[in-house]
Amino acid sequence: MSVTEQPPPAPGPESDGDEAAERLRDRISADSLTTRRDYLRIVATVSGGLAIGGVGVAAGILHRHGDSESMPEPKRVADEMLPGESVAFRYPGDEDRALAVRLSDGTLVGYSAVCTHLACAVLWREDRGTDGELYCPCHEGVFDARTGEVTAGPPPRPLPRIFLTEQADGSVWAIATARSGETAREALCRQLGDSRPEMARQLGCPGVDRAAATERKRT
């Protein structure tokens, strides 16, 4: 029989003590209920915060890799990268996690290392297929290492690209970024803007001749 199922005490000298014990049990029960309510409230608050953060990432409210409207400064990623090697670095800003990979055929690829699902860290697993795979361990998200496209799991968008170049001395540099799903031409034209009209013209960026004509009229 539980404490709450005990029969009422018979009247007698010990009644006062029994009443005190009963009040103590009621207090403990009330405190336990309060503790449970506080716990549930904390869990609900934390869960709600995570959900809001996820919605923010999905809706574009929070910072996304490659959002800059200007061409970032080039950054040295590595002195040399051999096939099968990967390098974690920060680009274009100090808060932007990034990953460079030299695939088995020598191709250089670079991506944001922030999963497009809930912003967990993305890793490269070399032993998964010919090119390996980009993997988010938080919710089993998987991206194609050659294209950045989603191949499994909950991520809603491909990984944003980082454009890499290799110099004559073998060093690898990051030179520009792209938003998720944005082509190289779209990304470069957006970031070049009016700052480098000759390069923009070579790429065939829309509006570059019109912008140049407007600038000539001003001068």
Position of tokens 């974690």? Answer: 88
* Band of pLDDT at residue 128, cut at 50, 70 and 90: confident
Q: How far, in Å, CA of 36 to CA of 176, rounded?
A: 51
Question: CB within 8 A of 96, min separation 6: which ones?
Answer: 65, 90, 112, 114
Q: What is the pLDDT, as a whole number, of residue 192?
A: 80
On the question of pLDDT at 166 being above 60, the answer is: yes
Q: What is the pLDDT, as a whole number, of residue 210?
A: 57
Q: How far, in Å, CA of 184 to CA of 29, rounded?
A: 64
Q: What is the tens place of the pLDDT at every residue in 197-210?
A: 888 888 888 876 65
Q: What is the tens place of the pLDDT at every residue in 32-81?
A: 443 444 433 433 333 333 333 333 333 343 445 656 677 889 999 999 99
> CA-CA distances (angstroms) from residue 94 to 23, 65, 110, 126?
59, 11, 16, 26
pTM: 0.64
